[in-house]
Amino acid sequence: MGRFTSSNGNSNSDSGNGGCLAEEKLDELRKLIGKSEGDPLRIVSVGAGAWGSVFAALLQDSYGQFRDKIQIRIWRRAGRAVDRATAEHLFEVINSREDVLRRLIRRCAYLKYVEGRLGDRTLFADEILKDGFCLNMERITVPIIISLAKGIQAALDPVPHIITPTMMIHQATGVPIENILYLGGPNIAAEIYNKEYANARICGAEKWRKPLAKFLRQPHFIVWDNSDLITHEVMGGLKNVYAIGAGMVAALTNESATSKSVYFAHCTSEMIFMTHLLAEEPEKLAGPLLADTYVTLLKGRNAWYGQMLAKGQLSPDMGDSISGKGMIQGVSAVEAFFELLSQSSLNVLHPEENKPVAPVELCPILKTLYKILISRELSSQAILKALRDENLNDPRERIEIAQSHAFYRPSLLGQP
Phi (first) and psi of residue 208, to 5 degrees: -105, -30
CA gap 45, 56 in Å, rounded: 7
Among 244, 215, 224, 34, residue whose Cα is nearest residue 124: 215
Side-chain-facing half-sphere of 80: CA atoms under 13 Å? 11
In the 8-state DSSP scheme, what is residue 76? S
The answer for residues whose C-beta is within 8 angstroms of residue 313's C-beta and 6 or more apart is none
CA distances from 376 to 317, 367, 371 (A): 9, 12, 5
* Contacts by residues 116-121 (CB-CB < 8 Å, ≥ 24 positions apart): 117/141, 117/142, 118/32, 118/33, 118/34, 119/33, 119/143, 119/144, 119/179, 120/33, 120/34, 120/35, 120/88, 120/89, 121/87, 121/88, 121/89, 121/90
Side-chain-facing half-sphere of 399: CA atoms under 13 Å? 13
Q: Which of 239, 311, 355, 371 is catalytic?
A: 239
CA gap 365, 363 in Å, rounded: 6
Helix axes 286-299, 257-278, angle to 10 degrees: 140
Our answer to whether residue 239 is catalytic in this structure is: yes
Residues labelled as active-site residues: 239
